[in-house]
């Protein structure tokens, strides 16, 4: 293995269709119109010396190293800023050019510290490379002259160092921050020789607007911006392409290694989801993999109040299996079940549901999508026929109007947000529908055309009112509806949305959004060109989550915004493999590929291959498993990679369910909150330690590749196989690729998928089969998967969770950029520097009424429970609405969320809880008690060495 080196073409690719032919150094080359001479030369393998150009950003033309001669033109133009022209004749190497380039390099080097041997970039420095490329042998000006200003190193960012003494002021970092990331955190301060790169208003990186995405570090050609890991370890010697294990964007990375040590993660330019960009989590927050709190040995205990006892794998698996078998013998086949993980690979998820269906002999399998995107599956399957988003991320580059509803992409899906912001800076329009004024509403060079700050819980009413406007004002795409949708259902729906109770004026009273704003947003979406809708958990995690998804689908159909690039309905998936977990048959009623367990032909196919009869009855969902546990009929559970105690609603109920079980097996990296109730702990492996695939929000299946030996000894897929064997159900796979082969045999939408195909194409989007052998970037192009698109009447039914005198405020929850879900990984990285605790966002008006000041402890109480956290006074939330994140277990935000859930899928209503807040002295009694239980529960008995 060696380092994967991607070619740097110097300038971005031109998207023009027309092509021109020119001659460079005597050779003809044909490239798209608008291509730079530099890129055209690189396309034919000639690298023109360069310093300020790189193909992730537009050309700048400042270093003057890339000069060329063009026949018939005076002077020596910069090849990075000069576009090709038909019949142009270019020379890249002449005596004059050599002389000029050496002169430029002499100036750079005379102003550069010559500590190359001890410099962190030694071996990966473009300045050094260019000195070699131009044949620099001497510097006429010496090295002792004036140097540009050096304000000293900035070590404030936990992951990278800024050493201005090495800066050549090429501005690549500034442009990367603007063009790739879209944060505009950097400027060049000062003029001429005194120019220096400055974060914000000459602040430190940590204090500035910087979001630590690392694009500037990647762009820097010298050691000025360098990863601290490179400074500490040295340059990597090989790399492996793999996929980020955090969010559903699915960024592709080169894990750059020395031996089995990760030196750095570098976003892969060929990654089709991220195109060479990343966020702080994927690029930097991988330190949890070697964190000292990782559990590496299996453990068991009789009672949850006992200390843990480290045991062998055989003993742990044998104990779990015998307990599960005992429970089934005493309480029946359906008395146990399991939860698959959206953090684990497709192959691992498939095996867990196989273990439950075939090994446990029931369908009591569910997944964390239950608590996030299960309404997406239901809503899109009902309306379009497929439980998945319709587009790829590239699609946003062709959108003219983008609606973001119930999502906060700059925090939750940062790399998609950067791609979206780029499109918005090019002129696309934005509509934000969200109770909070999320960053996208106003961000550098982006102003949303409309922000509809609706009251939490009123999505359906607002979307139906937008449909009202579209129908009432004759903005229906008649041709699309006629050709592609069921006419009768459309007529019924159109009559429904036209009713006065669905008008913007009526809905304004319910939602708090002015009628004119609803009208304007509807008109823009319907008439603004390619309209795309992106949504997140602010849509799904409601009692009407599935209805909202269908209301979105209705809007897309009525305006014809489906079935081509630039449009579509796009769920922004939370976890890295939540799409895959759903695809793999993790729901109790569905086998892989969303086929109902009661379908005899489908079941027969699985039974034949697995050699066992399957239960025909759908199993229990997570909340039903917990209810059944409290009722005494459900006694054992295998939980892979999910912390239900922290992530599921109504924590007291989850705790009661877990406490009532006789055998809880937790398979995870750390002793998480759920493990406080476990009897068996099986140590899990990280994405760096195993092979497999993840499927991102675009339905893109990408390889996860092992870069280091699992510290716990096994990949998670191997542990599930061993547990199945201990249960008496043998599974035999030598490698995860064989599991994928089985998935392909059993799942029509995956029929063409194999590791060979993924390796050949880089990634593939399902459906991938005989009809689409290289996958399907955009769905429903010629027709909907279900045949005719189905308009569904979306009656607005207010949630039962109401505000009143006792609980007058509405709480809604979300994520923050630097932390990830329950925080198990990110809290164990330096990312805590940005978010050490969950804070409660309160509007100044609500805070003042209650005498709460910024930073005060606040009691947050609902009908379900209460917790305490500190206040953050901000106008990001409207009066009457408060907001918090749920990344820290000591806050336990889900103690206050209720057990109301989506009518169709049981997805919990995290986004609407009626609450009251009041000043407090500190953490509540409950939090103290819980902390004590957690401390006790995590005790591990000392290992007693056998005396000789």
Instruction: Give the footprint of ligand SF4 on this chain (CB under 6 A).
Output: 167-173, 176-177, 181, 183, 185-186, 197, 199, 210-216, 219-222, 224-225, 244, 246-247, 249-251, 274, 278-279, 281-282, 413-415
- For ligand FES, the closer of residues 64 and 437 by Cβ is 64
Per partner kind, with CB cut-offs from 5 to 8 A, the member of ligand SF4, ligand FES, none near residue 53 is: ligand FES
Shortest Cβ 183–ligand FES spacing (Å): 23
- For position 56 contacting ligand FES by CB under 6 A, the verdict is no
Per this entry, what is the length of the chain? 948
Per partner kind, with CB cut-offs from 5 to 8 A, the member of ligand SF4, ligand FES, none near residue 423 is: none
Contact residue for ligand FES among 24, 37, 40, 51 (CB under 6 A)? 51
Contact residue for ligand FES among 20, 41, 57, 65 (CB under 6 A)? 65
Per partner kind, with CB cut-offs from 5 to 8 A, the member of ligand SF4, ligand FES, none near residue 497 is: none
Site for ligand FES in 315-374 (CB under 6 A): none
CA–CA separation, 521 and 515 (whole Å): 10
Which residue, among 412, 447, 414, 442, has the nearest Cα to 428 in the 3D structure?
447
Collapsed DSSP state (helix, strand, coil) of residue 57: coil
Contact residue for ligand FES among 24, 53, 358, 454 (CB under 6 A)? 53
- For ligand SF4, the closer of residues 206 and 304 by Cβ is 206
- For position 62 contacting ligand FES by CB under 6 A, the verdict is yes
Shortest Cβ 815–ligand SF4 spacing (Å): 11
- For position 66 contacting ligand FES by CB under 6 A, the verdict is yes
Torsion-angle region of 445 (φ positive above 0: left; ψ -120 to 50: alpha; else: beta): left
Per DSSP, the residues of 510-525 read HH---HHHHHHHHHHH
Contact residue for ligand FES among 56, 63, 539, 675 (CB under 6 A)? 63
Shortest Cβ 162–ligand SF4 spacing (Å): 7
Stretch that binds ligand FES, among 55-63, 255-263, 579-587, 714-722 (CB under 6 A): 55-63
Pairing of strands 531-535, 568-571: parallel
Contact residue for ligand FES among 22, 41, 50, 434 (CB under 6 A)? 50
Per partner kind, with CB cut-offs from 5 to 8 A, the member of ligand SF4, ligand FES, none near residue 171 is: ligand SF4
Per partner kind, with CB cut-offs from 5 to 8 A, the member of ligand SF4, ligand FES, none near residue 78 is: ligand FES
DSSP annotation of 14: P
Shortest Cβ 79–ligand FES spacing (Å): 6
Shortest Cβ 10–ligand FES spacing (Å): 7
Per partner kind, with CB cut-offs from 5 to 8 A, the member of ligand FES, ligand SF4, none near residue 62 is: ligand FES
CA–CA separation, 399 and 393 (whole Å): 11
- For ligand SF4, the closer of residues 267 and 752 by Cβ is 267
Per partner kind, with CB cut-offs from 5 to 8 A, the member of ligand FES, ligand SF4, none near residue 66 is: ligand FES
CA–CA separation, 312 and 726 (whole Å): 14
Shortest Cβ 49–ligand FES spacing (Å): 8
Find all residues with CB under 8 Å of 645, minimum gap 6, and list them: 651, 654, 655, 658, 672, 673, 674, 676, 677
Shortest Cβ 195–ligand FES spacing (Å): 15
CA-based torsion, 384, 386, 388, 389: positive or negative:
negative
Helix axes 313-331 and 716-726, enclosed angle (nearest 10)? 50
**Which residues, in sequence order, are bridge partners of residue 366?**
339
Find all residues with CB under 8 Å of 30, minimum gap 6, and list them: 19, 20, 21
Q: By Cβ distance, which residue is nearest to ligand SF4? A: 282
CA–CA separation, 364 and 356 (whole Å): 7
- For ligand FES, the closer of residues 171 and 242 by Cβ is 171
Shortest Cβ 823–ligand FES spacing (Å): 43
For 853, counting Cβ atoms within 10 Å of its Cβ (0-12 exposed, 13-18 middle, 19+ buried), the class is exposed
Whether residue 339 contacts residue 639, with contact meaning beta carbons closer than 8 Å, is answered with: yes
- For ligand FES, the closer of residues 134 and 655 by Cβ is 134
Stretch that binds ligand FES, among 47-55, 504-512, 549-557, 642-650 (CB under 6 A): 47-55
Per partner kind, with CB cut-offs from 5 to 8 A, the member of ligand FES, ligand SF4, none near residue 63 is: ligand FES
Stretch that binds ligand FES, among 44-52, 657-665, 691-699, 908-916 (CB under 6 A): 44-52
- For ligand FES, the closer of residues 64 and 425 by Cβ is 64
How close are the terminal C-alpha atoms of the chain, in Å?
46
Contact residue for ligand FES among 12, 32, 34, 61 (CB under 6 A)? 61
Find all residues with CB under 8 Å of 904, minimum gap 6, and list them: 375, 378, 379, 545, 546, 547
Whether residue 746 contacts residue 606, with contact meaning beta carbons closer than 8 Å, is answered with: yes
- For ligand SF4, the closer of residues 65 and 247 by Cβ is 247
Which residue, among 342, 426, 379, 385, has the nearest Cα to 533 in the 3D structure?
379
- For ligand FES, the closer of residues 81 and 349 by Cβ is 81
Site for ligand FES in 70-89 (CB under 6 A): 78, 80
Per partner kind, with CB cut-offs from 5 to 8 A, the member of ligand SF4, ligand FES, none near residue 173 is: ligand SF4
Tokens matching residue 138: 């001497």
Residues in contact with ligand FES, counted by CB under 6 A, come to a total of: 12
Per DSSP, the residues of 541-593 read SSTTHHHHHHHHHHHHHHTT--SSTT-EEEE--SBTTHHHHHHTT-STTEETT
Chain centroid to Cα 861, Å, comes to 31
Tokens matching residue 322: 């015998």
Shortest Cβ 542–ligand SF4 spacing (Å): 24
Find all residues with CB under 8 Å of 895, minimum gap 6, and list them: 650, 651, 652, 864, 865, 866, 867, 926
Shortest Cβ 163–ligand FES spacing (Å): 21
- For position 219 contacting ligand FES by CB under 6 A, the verdict is no
- For position 176 contacting ligand FES by CB under 6 A, the verdict is no
CA–CA separation, 362 and 336 (whole Å): 8
Shortest Cβ 816–ligand SF4 spacing (Å): 12
Contact residue for ligand FES among 52, 404, 678, 896 (CB under 6 A)? 52
CA–CA separation, 357 and 354 (whole Å): 5
The secondary element (H helix, E strand) that includes residue 410 is helix 409-412
- For ligand FES, the closer of residues 52 and 553 by Cβ is 52
Per partner kind, with CB cut-offs from 5 to 8 A, the member of ligand FES, ligand SF4, none near residue 282 is: ligand SF4
- For ligand FES, the closer of residues 108 and 687 by Cβ is 108
Torsion of CA 802, 808, 814, 817, to 10 degrees: 170
CA–CA separation, 820 and 841 (whole Å): 18
Per partner kind, with CB cut-offs from 5 to 8 A, the member of ligand FES, ligand SF4, none near residue 739 is: none
- For ligand SF4, the closer of residues 148 and 331 by Cβ is 148
Per partner kind, with CB cut-offs from 5 to 8 A, the member of ligand SF4, ligand FES, none near residue 414 is: ligand SF4
- For ligand FES, the closer of residues 83 and 736 by Cβ is 83
Where does 355-399 have alpha helices with state H? 374-383
Helix axes 515-527 and 459-472, enclosed angle (nearest 10)? 60
The secondary element (H helix, E strand) that includes residue 419 is helix 414-425
- For ligand SF4, the closer of residues 392 and 590 by Cβ is 392
**Which residues, in sequence order, are bridge partners of residue 19?**
32
Which residues are at the interface with ligand FES (CB under 6 A)? 50-53, 61-66, 78, 80
């Amino acid at each position: 293995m060696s380092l994967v080196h991607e070619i740097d073409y110097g300038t971005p690719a031109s998207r023009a269709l027309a092509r021109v032919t020119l001659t460079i150094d005597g050779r003809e080359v044909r490239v798209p119109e608008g291509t730079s001479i530099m890129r055209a030369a690189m396309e034919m393998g000639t690298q023109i010396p360069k310093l300020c150009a790189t193909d992730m950003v537009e050309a700048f033309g400042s270093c003057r190293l890339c000069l060329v001669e063009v026949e018939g033109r005076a002077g020596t133009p910069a090849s990075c800023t000069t576009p090709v022209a038909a019949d142009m004749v270019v020379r890249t190497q002449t005596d004059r050019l050599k002389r000029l380039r050496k002169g430029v390099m002499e100036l750079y080097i005379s102003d550069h510290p010559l500590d190359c041997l001890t410099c962190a970039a030694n071996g990966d420095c473009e300045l050094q490379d260019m000195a070699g490329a131009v044949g620099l042998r001497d510097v006429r000006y010496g090295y002792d002259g004036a140097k540009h200003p050096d304000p000293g190193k900035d070590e404030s960012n936990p992951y990278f160092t800024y050493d201005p003494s090495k800066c050549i002021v090429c501005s690549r970092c500034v442009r990367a921050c603007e063009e790739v990331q879209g944060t505009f955190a950097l400027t060049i301060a000062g003029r001429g020789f005194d120019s220096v790169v400055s974060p914000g208003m000459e602040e430190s990186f940590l204090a500035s607007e910087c979001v630590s995405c690392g694009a500037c570090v990647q762009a820097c050609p010298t050691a000025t911006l360098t990863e601290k890991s490179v400074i500490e370890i040295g340059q990597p010697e090989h790399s492996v392409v793999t996929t980020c294990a955090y969010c559903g964007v699915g960024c592709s990375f080169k894990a750059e290694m020395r031996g089995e040590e990760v030196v750095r993660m570098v976003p892969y330019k060929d990654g089709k989801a991220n195109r060479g960009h990343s966020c702080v989590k994927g690029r930097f927050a991988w330190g949890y993999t070697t964190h000292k709190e990782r559990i590496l040995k299996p453990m068991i205990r009789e009672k949850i109040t006992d200390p843990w006892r480290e045991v062998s794998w055989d003993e742990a698996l044998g104990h779990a299996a015998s307990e599960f078998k005992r429970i089934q013998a005493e309480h029946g086949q359906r008395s146990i079940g399991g939860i698959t993980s959206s953090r684990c690979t497709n192959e691992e998820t498939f095996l867990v549901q196989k273990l439950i269906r075939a090994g446990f002999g029931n369908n009591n399998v569910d997944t964390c999508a239950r608590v996030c995107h299960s309404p997406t599956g239901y809503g899109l399957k009902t309306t379009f026929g497929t439980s998945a988003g319709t587009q790829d991320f590239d699609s946003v580059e062709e959108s003219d109007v983008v609606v973001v509803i119930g999502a906060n992409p700059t925090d939750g899906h940062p790399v998609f947000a950067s791609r979206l912001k780029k499109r918005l800076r090019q002129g696309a329009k934005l509509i934000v529908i969200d109770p909070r004024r999320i960053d996208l509403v106003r961000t550098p060079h982006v102003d949303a055309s409309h922000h509809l700050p609706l009251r939490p819980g009123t999505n359906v009413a607002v979307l139906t009112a937008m449909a009202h406007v579209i129908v009432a004002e004759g903005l229906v795409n008649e041709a699309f509806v006629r050709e592609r949708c069921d006419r009768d259902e459309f007529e019924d729906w159109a009559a429904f949305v036209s009713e006065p109770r669905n008008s913007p004026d009526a809905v304004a009273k319910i939602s708090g959004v002015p009628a004119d704003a609803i009208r304007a947003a509807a008109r823009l979406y319907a008439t603004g060109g390619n309209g795309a809708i992106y949504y997140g958990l602010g849509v799904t995690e409601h009692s009407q989550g599935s209805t909202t998804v269908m209301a979105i689908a209705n809007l897309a159909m009525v305006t014809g915004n489906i079935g081509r690039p630039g449009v579509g309905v796009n769920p922004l998936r939370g976890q890295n493999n939540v799409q895959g977990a759903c695809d793999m048959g993790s729901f109790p009623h569905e086998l892989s590929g969303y086929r109902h367990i009661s379908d005899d032909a489908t079941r027969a196919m699985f039974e034949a291959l697995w050699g066992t009869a399957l239960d025909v009855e759908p199993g229990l969902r997570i909340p039903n498993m917990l209810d059944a546990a409290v009722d005494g009929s459900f006694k054992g559970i295998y939980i892979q990679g999910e912390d239900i105690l922290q992530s599921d609603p109504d924590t007291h109920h989850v705790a009661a369910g877990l406490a009532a079980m006789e055998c809880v097996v937790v398979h995870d990296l750390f002793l998480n909150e759920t493990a406080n109730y476990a009897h068996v702990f099986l140590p899990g492996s990280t994405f760096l330690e195993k092979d497999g695939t993840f499927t991102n929000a675009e339905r893109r299946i990408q390889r996860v590749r092992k870069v280091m030996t699992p510290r716990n000894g096994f990949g998670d897929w191997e542990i599930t196989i061993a547990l199945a064997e201990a249960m008496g159900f043998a599974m035999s796979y030598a490698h995860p690729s064989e599991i994928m082969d089985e998935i392909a045999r059993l799942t029509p939408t995956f029929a063409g998928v194999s590791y060979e195909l993924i390796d050949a194409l880089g990634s593939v989007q399902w459906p991938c089969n005989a009809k689409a052998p290289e996958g399907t970037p955009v769905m429903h192009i010629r027709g909907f998967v279900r045949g005719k698109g189905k308009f569904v009447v979306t009656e607005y039914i207010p949630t039962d969770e109401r505000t009143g005198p006792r609980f007058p405020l509405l709480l809604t929850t979300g994520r923050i950029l630097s932390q990830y879900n329950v925080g198990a990984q990110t809290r164990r990285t330096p990312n805590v520097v940005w978010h050490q605790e969950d804070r409660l966002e309160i509007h100044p008006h609500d805070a003042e009424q209650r005498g709460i000041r910024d930073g005060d402890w606040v009691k947050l109480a609902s009908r379900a429970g209460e917790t305490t956290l500190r206040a953050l006074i901000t106008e990001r939330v409207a009066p009457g609405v408060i907001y918090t994140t749920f990344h820290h277990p000591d806050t336990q935000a889900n103690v206050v969320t209720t057990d109301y859930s989506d009518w169709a899928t049981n997805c919990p209503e995290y986004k609407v809880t009626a609450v009251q807040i009041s000043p407090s002295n500190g953490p509540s009694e409950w939090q103290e008690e819980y902390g004590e239980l957690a401390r006790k529960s995590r005790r591990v008995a000392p290992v007693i060495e056998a005396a000789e």
